[in-house]
Amino acid sequence: MAPLTIDTKIKLASGYEIPQLGFGVYQTPADEAEKVVLEAFKAGYRHVDSAAGYHNEASCGQAIRVSSGLPREQVFFTTKVPYRKISYEGAKAQVDKSLAESGLGYIDLMLLHCPYGGSANRKGAWKALVEAVEAGKVRSIGVSNYGVHHLDELETHIAELEAERGGKGKGGVLSVGQWEVHPWCARKDIVEWSKKRDVAIQAYCPIVRGERWGEPVLVKLAEKYGKTQAQVLIRWSLQKGYIPLPKSVTPSRIAENANVYDFELTEAEVDELETDEHSPVAWDPCVEPLDK
């Protein structure tokens, strides 16, 4: 396998490539987002993870389109359909709204942000994303915070849409799933499901919001490699083959979180860091019932 670099990309089931290291802008105020995204570009990131619910799509779009000077095709932009829009009409309208807000011409990746709304609305929202791909508005599609039972249901919906819409591929291609994933929330069942189906795994909260600083194994590895505990966790995520989405508004930390390519954990260390805990630090819609 080629050594990981900040330019490493992962080929998605859609055929497009996604930069493996992403930059998250959750809770980044709209009036700060442009500035911090530009800091991320300066540090080498080329992948920005936003959402309609973050209220900063416009600022991210401004940074990508205007301020950065980067060609559009060099930046990968993700956004998400919020839970109140999980329906056919809601998701269809959100695609157009996100395009208008960001001004980007197309969206690289659009996710359903959570598995709320009930089965019929989840199917309708997915159908809207499939149509957006067909219309050239969105390139790749996926889901966020889906449990295995939601993912199984989505497979059924894709098969139903293929039958209803006239054949193979007409149900859409699930390219990406996004979850809180780190050594204390490894989600082995979801990871196994995704890997079997070539679904790329985006990991939010990869540094666990700092809530696990001081864990003995983490401290030991940080000291061994002369790295911060955050850098060790981001490296763990990269070596697992995930797409980590660290976030920060502090320029030094933005750069530091990208400086993870001059050391490599051993396979034994990757395994040692991972636990059997299920201790998410963010919301956890994965456990919600199908009728939520």
Digit-coded pLDDT (tens) for 86-138 = 999 999 999 999 999 999 999 999 999 999 999 999 999 999 999 999 999 99
> pTM here?
0.98
In the chain, the DSSP E strands lie at 9-11, 17-19, 23-24, 47-49, 76-81, 107-112, 138-144, 174-180, 200-204, 243-244
Q: What pLDDT score does 201 carry?
A: 98
Give the SS3 label for residue 43. Answer: helix
- Out of 16, 26, 45, 54, pick the active-site residue: 54
Which value, to the nearest 10 degrees, does the dihedral of the CA atoms of residues 8, 70, 139, 77 take? Answer: 80
What tens digit of pLDDT does each residue of 15-31 get?
Answer: 999 999 999 999 999 99
Q: Which candidate, 209, 148, 159, 152, places its Cα nearest to that of 180?
A: 209
Whether the per-residue pLDDT at 1 is higher than 80: the answer is no
CA dihedral 232, 109, 68, 58 (to 10 degrees): -110
Check whether 2 has a pLDDT greater than 90: no
Confidence band, pLDDT 50/70/90 cuts, at residue 53: very high
CA 31 – CA 58 distance, rounded (Å): 10
Structure tokens at 215: 């864990």
Q: 204 catalytic, yes or no?
A: no
Judged by DSSP in three states, 78 sits in strand
pLDDT, residue 5, reads 98
How far is it, in rounded angstroms, from Cα 283 to Cα 292? 15
150 appears as a binding residue in the annotation:
no
Average pLDDT, the chain: 97
Q: Which residue type occupies 27?
A: Q
